[in-house]
Structure 1
Amino acid sequence: MAKYDRFLWREKTTLIALAAAASSFIAGLMLPVNPQGSDPEILLSPTEKMGHHTPEKSGIDILALKAQRDEAFVKVFSRLEQEAQDRRLMVSVPTQFQGKTFQEVTLSSKEKVIALTFDDGPWPKSTLEVLEILKKNNIKATFFMVGKNVKNFPHLARQVSLDGHAIGNHTWSHLYHRFNETGASSEIDRTSDMIYQTTGIKTTLFRPPGGHLKNGLAAYAHKKNYAVVMWSSDSRDYSRPSVPLFIKHALTGITPGGIVLMHDGGGNRDHTVRALPQLITEYKKRGYRFVTVPELMEMQDKEVKLAAAAKSASPKAQSAAPKTQPAAPKTE
C-alpha cells in the first residue's frame, strides 16, 4: 500500500496548502486595511487595547470581524477536507472491469501477487482478530461487507477502513433467493449507502452471496458498473475445516493475480483466525506478496495501457514481436 500512503500524504499536503491559502484570503477580506502597513491592533488606543473600546469609538469591531473570519475559514476548510476525502476514498474501477465479473487477474509480468478477501463481516471478535493478524504481517486485504452488519457494528467497519483495507459490497441481508431489479437495487444500493455513511468509502466492488450469479444481483451490479469480484481459491472456511485442510483448500489452484475467499463474519470464525497466520506464512514461502483487489485491477490496467502505448509508438516492431499484452480478466 506504499502507493496508497503516498497518495494519502499528497492529499493531506494539498489540503493543508489549500486551507492556508483560504485562511489568508478570508483574513484579507475580513480585516480592515491599514494604509501604513501596521497591525490593526496598534491603531487602538491603550484603553481599547484593554478591551474597553466600542464600535462607535474605534470604528472597528475586531471581535466581530474575527468571529466572521473564523466561521468562514471553518466552512472553507470543511468543504476542502470533504472533497479531498471523497477523492481519497473512492474505489476507482478501471474501465475494463466495470460491469464485468472476474475470478482473478492475469498479469503478463507474472508477478507473484495475491489478494486476500474476507466476506460476511463486520462481526464481533473475529473481525478485530483478523485485522490484528493482518496488521502484524503488514498486509492489506479486501472486506466484502453485509449492509445490516455495517449498521449493527459501525465501529468495526470504521476500523477496517482506518487500517487501510479495501471494502466491497456483499448485499444488505445476504440472501440467496432470486431478486427482481427493485429487490436487487435495495440490497445493493442500501449497502453502498451504509458503507459510505459509516466509513466514507464509496465502493464499486460487489460480491454476490454464495457466488450466485444468476439470481438478479450480479445483473443489477453489472448495470451499475460494479466490478463483480469472485475468487480463484476457496478456503471453504464456512465448513469449519481443520487448520491443515483450510490451508490445503486455500492453496489449491493459486496463481499470480489470484483472489482467495475467506470469512470474518456470519458465524463463529475461530478456525479462520487460527489458520490465517499459517496460511500467510505458506504464501510467503511461495514468494507471494499481498495486495488488495483494487490494486490487482490497477496493476492489470497499467500493463494494458503500457502495452497499448508501446504498440502505438512502434506499430511495426509490435507487429513483429510476440504478443505480450495482458490477457483479459477471467470472467463468467
Structure 2
Amino acid sequence: MESNKSYVWSQGILIALVALCGSFSLGLMMPINPNASKAQIEQPVNLKEIAASTGNQQRVEKFKTAMITTWQQEASIKGLAYVIPSRFQGVTIKSANKITGEKVIALTFDDGPWPEGTTKILDILKKNNIKGTFFVVGQMLKAYPELGRQIVADGHIIGNHTWHHWYHHFSPQAAAFEIERTSDLIYKTTGVKTTLFRPPGGMMHNGLVNYANNQNYTTVMWSADSIDYSRPAVPRLVKNVMKNSEPGGIVLMHDGGGNRTKTIQALPQIISNFRKQGYRFVTVPELLEMEDDGIKLAQAKKSTLTAVKKNKRSKNSDQ
C-alpha cells in the first residue's frame, strides 16, 4: 500500500513537471505581434486635440493684436501717436531756433532700455513731471520689452537707435535691416510707430542717415552733449549740459550702454538748474511742432510786412 502511494505520488509530480514545461515551451513558441506592441506605444491621432491646439494659437495671435491696439490707443491718448511736421520729415535737426516766447529744452536718452539706468531715470523724470525722448537699441528692446512699454506708459517718446548700435559703413540693405527691424519691434512691443531716428555715435556718413532720410525719418542730433559715456564727475557732467544749452535745444544723455550711475546722480541737478533759468521741458515732437509754429508765424509776419510795404508804395505812386 505504501509503495503504491509512493508510485502515485511520483507519477503526479512527473505529470505536473511535464505540464509546466509544456506551458513554458508553448509560451516561447508563440509569435510576438509587433503591430500590437506598436499600437500600445503609439496613441491614435486625436483630431479634436489638433483643432484645440490650432485654436489656442489663433487666440494667442488675436490677443497679441488686441494688446498692440490697446497700446496704440493709450499712445494716442497720451499724445505719443505723433505726426512730425512735413518740413522736418527726411531731414536732420540739431535744435529748434524759431520758437518764440518760451524757453524750452528737450532731454533725450540713448542706448537703452537698460535694467538699472532706464528704470532710475524714468523714476526721476516721473518725480519731476517731465517727459523725455528715448532712442532705443533694437536688441536691447528685445531683451527688455517691459522697459520699452514702461517708457511709453509713462508718457515718453520712443525713437529708433538701430538694432546693433554699430559704427561701421552700411549698405542700403544693411541700413534697412538695422533701422526697420528696430522700428518694427518698437511697434510690436509698444504700439508706437516711430519716425524719429538717431545714428549711433552721431555718425552722419556711414549709410544710416542717408537711408533714414530717404524713408522720411527725422534724424535727431543734439545741441548739448553731456559726454556722460566717458563717466565724468557729476559736476563736470552737469556743466557739460548747461554750458551749451539754449532755448530750443536738445540735450544728449544715456540711460543704457553701460554704468550710468553718474548720469542718474547728475540728472536731478540738471533739471533743477534748467528750471531756475526758466526752462520748460518738452519732447522732441513737441519741440518740432513749436518750431513749425514759429516758422509759420515768421512767414506770416513777413507776408504781412511785404503787403504793408506794397500798399505804401501803391499809395505813394497814386499821389
After TM superposition, is the score higher than 0.5?
yes
Contact 1:110 1:256 in 2 (8 A): no
1:110 offset after TM fit, Å? 5.0
Q: Are 1:146 and 2:137 counterparts?
A: yes
1:226 aligns with 2:217: yes
Report the Cα offset of residue 317 of structure 1.
Answer: 2.8
Instruction: Give the direction of change, closer, same or farther, for the CA distance of 1:179–1:319 in structure 2 (3 Å limit).
Output: farther
Q: 1:159 aligned to 2:150?
A: yes
Normalised by the length of structure 1, the TM-score is 0.69
Q: Residues 317, 240 of structure 1: CA spacing in aligned structure 2 closer, same or farther, 3 A cutoff?
A: same
Match of 2:246 among 255, 263, 268: 255
Question: Cα offset for 1:312?
Answer: 5.4
Contact 1:237 1:272 in 2 (8 A): yes
1:115 matched to 2:106: yes
- Spell out the pairing of 1:90-105 with structure 2 (5 A cutoff): 90-105=81-96
1:6-33 deviation digits (Å, cap 9, x = unpaired) = xxxxxxxxxxxxxxxxxxxxxxxxxxxx
Report the Cα offset of residue 307 of structure 1: 3.8
How many angstroms apart in 2 are the aligned matches of 1:318 and 1:139?
Answer: 45
User: 2:114 aligns to what SS in structure 1?
Assistant: coil
Q: Which residue of 1 aligns with 2:18?
A: none
Q: Which residue of 2 aligns with 1:266?
A: 257
Aligned pair in 2 of structure 1 residues 287, 83: CA closer, same or farther (>3 Å)? closer
Check the 8 A contact 1:176/1:210 in 2, yes or no: yes
Give, as a single letter, the amino acid of the residue that structure 2 aligns with 1:254. Answer: S
| Aligned counterpart in structure 2 of residue 278 of structure 1, from 254, 266, 269 | 269
Deviations 1:79-135 (A, max 9, x none): 996885685643311111111111100125152100000000000111010000000
Contact 1:145/1:167, CA 8 A, preserved across alignment: yes
In 2, Cα distance between the equivalents of 1:314 and 1:236? 44
- The within-5 A match list for 1:50-65 is none
**What corresponds to 1:302 in structure 2?**
293
Return the match for 1:185 from 169, 176, 181: 176
Write out per-residue CA displacement over residues 224-263 of structure 1, whole angstroms, 9 at most, x where no aligned residue: 0111000000000000011100001011221100000000
Match of 2:9 in 1: none
User: Within 2, Cα distance between the matches of 1:314 and 1:213?
Assistant: 39
Counterpart CA distance in 1 for 2:163 and 2:275 is: 35
User: Once structures 1 and 2 are overlaid, which stretch shifts more, 178-187 or 110-119?
Assistant: 110-119
Q: Is the 8 A contact 2:72 2:81 kept in 1?
A: no
| Structure with the bigger percentage of helix | 2
Q: Does the C-alpha gap of structure 1 residues 183 and 107 become closer, same or farther in structure 2, counting only changes over 3 Å?
A: same
Q: Does 1:205 align with 2:196?
A: yes
Q: 1:103 & 1:82 partners in 2: Cα distance?
A: 30
Aligned length in residues:
246
Please say if residues 107 and 256 of structure 1, whose CA atoms lie closer than 8 Å, have aligned partners that are also in contact.
no
Once the two structures are superposed, what CA deviation does each residue of 1:19-68 show, in whole Å capped at 9, x if it has no partner?
xxxxxxxxxxxxxxxxxxxxxxxxxxxxxxxxxxxxxxxxxxxxxxxxxx
Greater CA radius of gyration, 1 or 2?
2
Q: Which of these residues, 162, 166, 175, is aligned with residue 171 of structure 1?
A: 162
* 1:184 CA displacement: 0.2
Tell me the TM-score normalized by structure 2.
0.72
Determine the structure 1 residue equivalent to 2:11.
Answer: none
Q: Distance in 2 between matches of 1:278 and 1:246?
A: 10
Indicate whether 1:237 and 2:216 are aligned.
Answer: no
Instruction: Give the counterpart letter for 1:115 in structure 2.
Output: A
Q: Which residue identity does 1:193 align to in structure 2?
A: D
Cα offset for 1:309? 4.5
Runs (4+) off by over 4 Å: 78-89, 309-315
- Amino acid corresponding to residue 278 of structure 1 in structure 2: Q
Question: How much is the aligned-residue C-alpha RMSD, in angstroms?
Answer: 2.5
| CA–CA separation in structure 2 for the residues paired with 1:290 and 1:312 | 31
User: Structure 1: which 5+ runs fail to align?
Assistant: 1-73, 321-332
Cα separation, 1, equivalents of 2:253 and 2:143: 21
SS at match of 2:115: coil
Which segments of 5 or more consecutive residues in structure 2 lack a partner in the other structure? 1-61, 312-319
Partner of 1:124: 115
8 Å contact 1:89–1:202 — kept in the other structure? no
Query: What percent of counterpart residues are identical?
Result: 56
